[in-house]
Amino acid sequence: MGYQHERIYMKIKDLEYFQQLIKDQNFSRVAQHFGVSQPTITMAIQRLEHEFNTSFFVRDHVHRELRVTTTGQQFANHVDLILNELQVAHQEIDRANSTKVRFGLPPIIGNYYFPPLTPRLMRHQLMGSLETYEHGSRGLLKMLQHGELDMALLGSLTPLKEAQLKAQELARFPFQVVVGAAHPLAGQATADFAALKNEQFIIPDTEFFHDQAFKQMCRRAHFRPRILYRTADIHVIKAMVSENLGITFLTSLAIEPGDKVKQVEIQGPDLPIFHLSVAMRETEELTPRKQELWDLLTNHHN
């Protein structure tokens, strides 16, 4: 039994050596990285190549280079997944008895969607269990996939379907043009996006999905936008728009009744939609607190 455990451990180390060799493409650097001898790395790679009956690397003695073969690159893709899953497994098992929930919350969702949920979470004594991480949805998605979060609310431009994730859509919100009360468009219910080519835009940073949707609309309308200012602070954007310094492109979720701005619907088919979902890893074994949080979020409108 002890021998089998040692084999599994050695195989994992072999995969780690292989992954690093793909990055460095130099045996001596990999050996130095792990603090082992170069023959240790060489033998590990030979074991893997023997097991799969192929060559993962080819030495180019003329140029003194190490080249990755097609099968080597193919195997590297699998190794990345395997080692990531092992890391996630360690994190999940280490936190199996934790009463805390590492919870991802993007800025717009955190400011405009999450607050009405907090009284219900407080009644169920869940607020004290949340360790909140605030980043853009793209960053939180990666953290979730790498096991750095237990659960997250995420925004996306399409229904959230990611390998190894369980996701449930909670709401959808349209994107709109938002202008100040003194802007000529303020009196219109709708607008053609192409008519905005001469406007100055104040828009969210590139970490927001707004940027992707905005670029999509500009490409369709065949114009390069004049961007006056970018910021991650939606309150600043709306304040600048209310002073008629420019216009913006936001999801309707980010507009509140007290905002001194006007919403203008965009005309046209196949307009981008802001999808709001809650997500977790499929392999996550939910503790009672995590299950209760998931149930409250997914049954919020019931």
What pLDDT does 193 receive? 95
Q: Helix axis angle, 27-34 relative to 38-52, nearest 10°?
A: 110
Binning pLDDT at 50, 70 and 90, where does residue 11 land? confident
Contact 176, 157 (CB under 8 A): no
Q: How far apart are CA 183 and CA 174, in angstroms?
A: 21
Contact 257, 201 (CB under 8 A): no
Binning pLDDT at 50, 70 and 90, where does residue 70 land? very high
pLDDT (average), residues 41-53:
89
**145 against 98, higher pLDDT:** 145
Q: How far apart are CA 103 and CA 134, in angstroms?
A: 9
Q: Which of 45-54, 66-75, 86-95, 233-242 has the lowest mean pLDDT?
A: 86-95
Give 83-92 pLDDT, tens digit per residue.
Answer: 888 887 777 6
Going along the chain from its start, the domains and CATH numbers come out as 2-82 (1.10.10.10), 101-171+275-298 (3.40.190.10), 173-273 (3.40.190.10)
Binning pLDDT at 50, 70 and 90, where does residue 144 land? very high
Give 227-251 pLDDT, tens digit per residue.
Answer: 999 998 999 999 999 999 999 999 9
Give 188-220 pLDDT, tens digit per residue.
Answer: 999 999 999 999 999 998 878 889 999 999 999
User: Per the confidence metrics, is the pTM higher than 0.85?
Assistant: no
**166 against 93, higher pLDDT:** 166
Contact 280, 166 (CB under 8 A): yes
pLDDT for residue 9 is more than 50: no
pLDDT for residue 302 is more than 80: no
Determine the 3-state secondary structure of 191 from DSSP: strand
Classify strands 200-204 and 226-231 as parallel, antiparallel or unpaired: parallel
pLDDT for residue 5 is more than 60: no
Give 147-166 pLDDT, tens digit per residue.
Answer: 889 999 999 999 999 888 99
Provide the terminal-to-terminal Cα distance of the chain, rounded to the nearest Å. Answer: 52
